[in-house]
């Protein structure tokens, strides 16, 4: 089993930046996908970004491309989401997710490990 713990959320003004961190523990992994989802009230859950743990390939949703960047530190079993140029539309609970896969698939993936979520609120 894997425990995922997010940190870094908070309140920020539009145009500002935040960096979310997700630390994995309980089971080390060398192959799989890690992703960031977000959930806003009344909205569909959205995969914001994902990364191939071994190869480093990334995916970013069109809604955040050019503003958000996913990255990882394998030695620390940690994935990051750098969020720049934040907009009020980015307000949501952000969840870290993971799935062990021999050949990681970043999208349309049934991520089975989830963090507790961290609130990001962007004021106008």
Q: What is the pLDDT of residues 85-118, one digit of tens each?
A: 999 999 999 999 999 888 888 999 999 999 999 9
Instruction: State mean pLDDT over 52-66.
Output: 94
pLDDT score recorded for residue 12:
98
Identify how many contiguous H helices and E strands the chain contains and give both numbers: 0, 11
Residue with tokens 């994935």: 79
CA distances from 87 to 1, 28, 39, 47, 63 (A): 35, 35, 15, 17, 11
Task: Give the integer Cα–Cα distance in Å for 81 and 67.
Answer: 10
Contact 63, 79 (CB under 8 A): no
66: which strand partners?
A: none
pLDDT score recorded for residue 8:
97
User: Which pLDDT tens digit goes with each residue over 8-48?
Assistant: 999 999 999 999 999 999 877 778 999 999 999 999 999 99
């Amino acid at each position: 089993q894997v425990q995922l713990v997010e940190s870094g959320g908070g309140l920020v003004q539009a145009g500002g930046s935040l960096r979310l961190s997700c630390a994995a523990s309980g089971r080390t992994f060398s192959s799989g996908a890690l992703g960031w989802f977000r959930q806003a009230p009344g909205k569909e859950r959205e995969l914001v970004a994902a990364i191939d743990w071994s190869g480093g390939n990334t995916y970013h949703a069109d809604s955040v491309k050019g503003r958000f960047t996913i990255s990882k530190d394998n030695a620390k079993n940690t994935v990051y989401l750098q969020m720049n140029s934040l907009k009020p539309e980015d307000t949501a609970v952000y969840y870290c997710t993971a799935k062990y896969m021999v050949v990681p698939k970043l999208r349309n993936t049934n991520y089975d490990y989830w963090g507790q979520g961290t609130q990001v609120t962007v004021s106008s």
